[in-house]
Amino acid sequence: MKRRKFIKSTGMMAMAAAFSGNAISAEAMSVSKKQLKLKRSMLVDDRWDVIVVGGGPAGCTAAIAAAREGAKTLLIEAMGQLGGMGTSGMVPAWSPFSDGEKMIYRGLAEKIFNESKKGVVHEAADKLDWVSINPEHLMSVYDRMVTEAGAKVLFFSRLAAVEMASDDTVDAVIVSNKSGLVAFKGKVYIDATGDGDLAAWAGAPFKRGYDDQGSVQMSSLCFSFANVDSYDYINGPTLYVWKDESTPLYQAVRSGKYPLVDTHFCNNLIGPDVIQCNAGHMRVDTTDPWAISDAMILGRQKATQYLEAMKDVRPTTFSNAFVVRTASLLGVRDSRRIEGDYIFTVEDWRERRSFEDEIGRNCYYIDVHSGKHKPEHYKKGESHGIPYRCLTPKGIKNLLTAGRCISTDAEAFGSTRIMPCCLVTGEAAGMAAVHAIEQSKNDVHKIDVAYLRKRLKEEGQYFL
């Protein structure tokens, strides 16, 4: 194919014009000072029904669902954008949305996925699996969908502590931001921090890692290269591999010239001449701020060295490329798993189990980045249920978890941690929070799960 025809056929000329560029509403950012009371020398904002902490995929769907159910909903996020690992973390692609036959992550997940695809017009319209993410586009999708649902977003605000009314009830979350320390009070809280900060600090039991030492999966700092030759990138030999000895990357690693480069190099074209990379493994204690800081510095060095290696082994694609961006969030695959009323296990995964209280389905493979585990895959059309009880932390009445930190064992976690699954658990948690306020005096363990499932189905979710 001729270069011009190739560019036309992939839709790249139209791409720049297609981006919507939604602006963040200034109103959405403002917190009314009048409604803040001074109490014990700390600002207290007690206007909320549902408070979601963490604005990644799970936090966004949780906030949208809670607001849509009519709750006064606050979404607190440490960064200045929504989307978590898919935006601030620069993960370059959605894990498959289909089980090989049909889309299985539906409801809000499907809506967000469809909106996200408008930012990558070079991808085929009917593609469901491993669709690239344009992070700038995706963060404006989340901005719009969360605020249009009626939830309020508070950026640059990090959960710093949790105040308990009693051992089993969260009273307030204490957040650090430009106002200093502020207490936010709601009726029900949702932990969507990925790391389970809120639940762990509220005293919920949790597990960490895949062995007795608490070793967690490898972390990566994602990055992007611009001015890549797209034509050569797509039409040349594959660069998307782990340990394929025939690839240029493998040769670069073997040469010994690039000590910071390893064989982990997943990459996607996210726009004209821009590829985004999920590359380079680092062993990091992911709840230690010192270790995370060191990993950010090392990750940026790795990005530069990956580019040097690529220029060396694949000059036709990379000779004019440069590192255009590195992620502002470290790519943490693994930290705390908050123990819920049920722990979803790898045996459940292998048996493709369905559950009476399931709130969605998942079919991703067991993908544990440890250097020790072998991947396990389902066949086409297979999936398992995700029980609601994985979202209800043991011993705490008014708290739910959503996303990466839900209740699983270490191996099953390798499957449930991906973004489509996090979107699904977020929507269920958001709805359940409101049902707990309406039905069971904020007790998330006592809601009518049949009604939750009915509402989720009405909103388009898929499960048995």
Ligand X SMILES: Cc1cc2nc3c(=O)[nH]c(=O)nc-3n(C[C@H](O)[C@H](O)[C@H](O)COP(=O)(O)OP(=O)(O)OC[C@H]3O[C@@H](n4cnc5c(N)ncnc54)[C@H](O)[C@@H]3O)c2cc1C
- In terms of CB distance, is 129 or 167 closer to ligand X? 129
327 forms bridges with which residues in the sheet? none
Which residue among 51, 55, 400, 410 contacts ligand X (CB under 6 A)? 55
Q: What is the Cα 194 distance to its own chain's centre?
A: 8
**Kind of pairing, strands 152-154 and 73-76?**
parallel
Other residues' Cβ atoms within 10 Å of the Cβ of residue 293 = 11
- In terms of CB distance, is 144 or 158 closer to ligand X? 158
Report helix angle 57-68 to 419-439, nearest 10: 30
Residue with tokens 């490898």: 218
Contact 222, 89 (CB under 8 A): yes
User: CA 149 to CA 75: how far, in whole Å?
Assistant: 12
Residue with tokens 């066949």: 379
Contact 261, 302 (CB under 8 A): yes
Which residue among 31, 36, 54, 141 contacts ligand X (CB under 6 A)? 54
| Distance set, CA 372 to CA 216, 411, 452 (Å) | 12, 11, 39
Q: How far is the CB of 248 from ligand X (least distance, A)?
A: 22
User: CA 71 to CA 68: how far, in whole Å?
Assistant: 7
Q: How far is the CB of 319 from ligand X (least distance, A)?
A: 27
Q: Which stretch binds ligand X (CB under 6 A): 54-62, 242-250, 254-262, 314-322?
A: 54-62
Residue 391 phi, psi dihedral angles, 5° rounding: -105, 0
- In terms of CB distance, is 231 or 410 closer to ligand X? 410
DSSP string, 119-170: T-TTS-TT--SS-B--HHHHHHHHHHHHHHHT-EEE-S-EEEEEEEEETTEE
Binding string to ligand X for residues 92 to 131, with x set by CB under 6 A, is what?
A: -xxx------------------------------------
Which residue among 12, 50, 59, 407 contacts ligand X (CB under 6 A)? 59
Q: Which stretch binds ligand X (CB under 6 A): 28-36, 97-105, 119-127, 324-332?
A: 324-332
Locate the DSSP E strands across 256-369.
265-271, 274-279, 322-326, 336-338, 358-362
User: CA 438 to CA 434: how far, in whole Å?
Assistant: 6
Q: Which 378-417 residues touch ligand X, going by CB under 6 A?
A: 403-404, 417
User: CA 158 to CA 175: how far, in whole Å?
Assistant: 5
Q: How far is the CB of 93 from ligand X (least distance, A)?
A: 5
Q: Which 277-296 residues touch ligand X, going by CB under 6 A?
A: 278
- In terms of CB distance, is 44 or 174 closer to ligand X? 174
Which residue among 50, 53, 104, 153 contacts ligand X (CB under 6 A)? 53
Binding string to ligand X for residues 188 to 217, with x set by CB under 6 A, is what?
A: ----xxxx-x--------------------
- In terms of CB distance, is 266 or 437 closer to ligand X? 266
Q: How far is the CB of 451 from ligand X (least distance, A)?
A: 25
- In terms of CB distance, is 332 or 434 closer to ligand X? 332
Size of the chain in residues: 464
Q: Which 61-90 residues touch ligand X, going by CB under 6 A?
A: 76-79, 84-86, 88
Q: Which stretch binds ligand X (CB under 6 A): 32-40, 56-64, 287-295, 377-385?
A: 56-64
384 forms bridges with which residues in the sheet? 362
Query: Using CB under 6 A as the criterion, which residues of the chain lie in contact with ligand X when the complex forms?
Result: 53-59, 76-79, 84-86, 88, 91, 93-95, 158-159, 192-195, 197, 220, 222, 278, 329, 331-333, 403-404, 417-420, 422
